[in-house]
């Protein structure tokens, strides 16, 4: 009878995590299956406790766990039904996924496998997007949202472009021919700028590239990089009608919200921000408690606007990750959340080259989260958690990896 060793289960968990990373971009069902298999294989491996102990001593983990503790504590004093409290807490499972990825991707070969398969998975979509945009093939979804929606697609393609840029800057190959990296990078960047109309994609791409280029540069070089980005940004904006439309629409909708007769993407966001800040003024210390935002916001706008006014629409999220945390977990929650982000950015145990890419991606998410809650949304939140966990993972100090057969004999 063949026995499955614990190491094989760890490898199964890694494979399932890779499937989840790519699958969640295409299908929530495939992504969920990958996540579940990863958790089950990891827990059944016999290494879960030792691996968690090894990563728990790292600041980027214990501050993440501390933030989860703050969210859990917020459930105690929230005044909404327990179903709402648990639902909101469950959305922060992305931090748990980050810890699991950090615990299992300690070998460099598995880091490279995930990056390569992620690029292959997104390459299929980017080629399909170009083919669809050219009118050669028609898919169920348009070329700007083949990956679930345009926001997910923009951020995924931007991450793929950052990986390609990082490979070239670090002079790596990841087992592929060197000429493929500039080609892939060009495909992703051109698609984000001219086809995928997602402002979050612009942010992740621009901020991430800036961080990668400035990482090892001197101060004089950084000045040149800033000037170069301003010039390049102006040129890209000038030649991309799609980008012009998205950026100008955001500015107009935000600045003229009070005059709008119907809801728009950024007009609605400004309404969310304005009302959320008004709610925060009365609950800044401890917050409303975990899960308390939706009910409080609904009560607030119902009193403030006529039912026929589009501004009276209810929401479960203020579309700003930092504001969402402040309203529900108070000032203390925001501090712990920001300290966790800082701990990830200041990580020192992982290799410098992988840390460089992780910080570039994290910086992009920090900017987009001013207009969305991308740290805990299903696709975007898990994508960030996967990259951070995989790239920042280091070899555990001590792992007890015994075959199941041996453990059975001892028992």
pLDDT of residue 397: 57
Handedness of CA 135, 137, 140, 142 (dihedral sign): negative
Structure tokens of 69?
């503790």
* Residue 236 region by backbone torsions, left for phi larger than 0, else alpha for psi between -120 and 50, else beta: alpha
CA 276 from centre of chain: 23
Query: CB 232: neighbour CB atoms within 10 A?
Result: 12
- Cα distances (angstroms) measured from residue 236 to each of 73, 180, 372: 47, 23, 24
Confidence of residue 261 (pLDDT cuts 50, 70, 90): confident
SS3 136: coil
50-61 pLDDT, tens digit each: 999 999 999 999
Nearest to 275, CA basis, from 238, 306, 318: 318
Rounded CA separation 189/196 (Å): 10
Residue 164's Cβ-side half-sphere holds a number of Cα atoms within 13 Å equal to: 25
Q: How would residue 140 be classed by pLDDT, with cut points 50, 70 and 90?
A: confident
The alpha-helical segments, DSSP class H, found in 91-240 are 93-104, 108-133, 150-169, 180-194, 199-214, 219-239
pLDDT averaged over every residue in the chain: 91
The predicted structure's pLDDT at residue 1: 29
Q: What percent of the chain has pLDDT over 90?
A: 76
Among 4-13, 250-259, 305-314, 328-337, name the most confident range: 328-337
Across 35-44, 191-200, 284-293, 319-328, least confident range: 191-200
CA 121 distance to own-chain centroid: 17
User: pLDDT at residue 309 above 80?
Assistant: yes
Which run of H or of E encompasses 16? Answer: helix 6-26
**Residue with tokens 């810890």, as numbered in its chain:** 99
pTM (predicted TM-score): 0.92
Q: Give the rounded percent of residues in the chain with a pLDDT score beyond 70.
A: 95
| Stronger pLDDT, 62 or 173, i.e. the higher one | 62
Q: Which of 69-83, 169-183, 391-405 has the highest mean pLDDT?
A: 69-83
Return the structure tokens found at 354.
């992988």
**Per-residue pLDDT, 5:** 64
Q: Is the dihedral of CA 192, 114, 349, 321 positive or negative?
A: positive
12-19 average pLDDT score: 97
Question: Which tens digit of pLDDT belongs to each residue from 95-129?
Answer: 999 999 999 999 999 999 999 999 999 999 999 99
Could you say which DSSP state residue 369 is in? T
pLDDT of residue 326: 97
Closest by CA position to 273, among listed 307, 310, 329, 311: 311
Cα–Cα dist 411/405, whole Å: 10
For residues 223 and 177, the answer to whether their CB atoms sit within 8 Å is no
Cβ-contact 394, 110 below 8 angstroms: no
**Range with the poorest average pLDDT among 93-97, 157-161, 175-179, 345-349:** 175-179
Q: Does residue 238 register a pLDDT over 70? A: yes
pLDDT > 80? residue 401: no
Residue 396 pLDDT class (50, 70, 90 cuts): low
């997104």: which residue's tokens?
122
| Rounded Cα–Cα distance for residues 263 and 266 (Å) | 9
- CA–CA gap between residue 196 and residue 258 (Å, rounded): 29
């Amino acid at each position: 009878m063949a026995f499955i060793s614990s190491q094989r289960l760890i490898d199964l968990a890694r494979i399932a995590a890779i499937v989840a990373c790519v699958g969640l971009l295409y299908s929530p069902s495939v992504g969920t299956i990958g996540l579940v298999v990863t958790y089950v294989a990891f827990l059944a491996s016999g290494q879960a406790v030792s691996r968690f102990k090894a990563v728990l001593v790292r600041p980027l983990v214990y501050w993440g766990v501390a933030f989860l503790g703050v969210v859990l504590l917020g459930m105690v004093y929230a005044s909404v039904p327990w179903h709402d409290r648990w639902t909101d807490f469950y959305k922060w499972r992305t931090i748990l996924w980050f810890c699991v990825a950090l615990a299992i991707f300690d070998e460099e070969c598995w880091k490279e496998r995930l990056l390569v398969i992620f690029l292959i998975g997104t390459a299929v979509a980017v080629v399909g997007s170009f083919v669809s945009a050219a009118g050669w093939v028609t898919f169920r979804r348009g070329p700007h949202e083949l990956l679930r929606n345009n926001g997910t697609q923009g951020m995924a393609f931007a991450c793929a472009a950052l990986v390609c840029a990082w490979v070239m800057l670090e002079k790596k190959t990841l087992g592929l021919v060197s000429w493929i990296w500039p080609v892939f990078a060009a495909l992703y960047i051109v698609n984000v700028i001219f086809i995928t109309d997602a402002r979050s994609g612009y942010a992740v791409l621009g901020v991430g590239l800036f961080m990668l280029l400035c990482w090892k540069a001197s101060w004089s070089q950084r000045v040149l990089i800033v000037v170069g980005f301003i010039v390049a940004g102006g040129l890209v904006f000038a030649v991309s009608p799609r980008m012009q439309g998205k950026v100008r629409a955001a500015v107009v909708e935000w600045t003229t919200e009070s005059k709008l007769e119907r809801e728009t993407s950024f007009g609605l966001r400004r309404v969310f921000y304005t009302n959320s800040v008004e709610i925060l003024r009365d609950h800044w210390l401890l917050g409303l408690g975990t899960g308390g935002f939706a009910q409080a916001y609904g009560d607030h706008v119902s009193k403030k606007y006529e039912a026929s006014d589009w501004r009276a629409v209810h929401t479960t999220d203020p579309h700003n990750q930092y504001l969402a945390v402040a309203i529900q977990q108070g000032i203390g929650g925001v501090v712990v959340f920001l300290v966790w982000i800082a701990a990830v950015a200041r990580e020192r145990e992982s290799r410098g080259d992988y840390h460089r890419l992780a910080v570039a991606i994290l910086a992009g998410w920090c900017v987009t989260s001013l207009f969305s809650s991308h740290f805990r949304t299903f696709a975007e939140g898990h994508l960030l958690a996967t990259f951070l966990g995989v790239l920042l993972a280091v070899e555990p100090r001590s792992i007890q990896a015994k075959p199941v057969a041996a453990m059975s004999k001892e028992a």
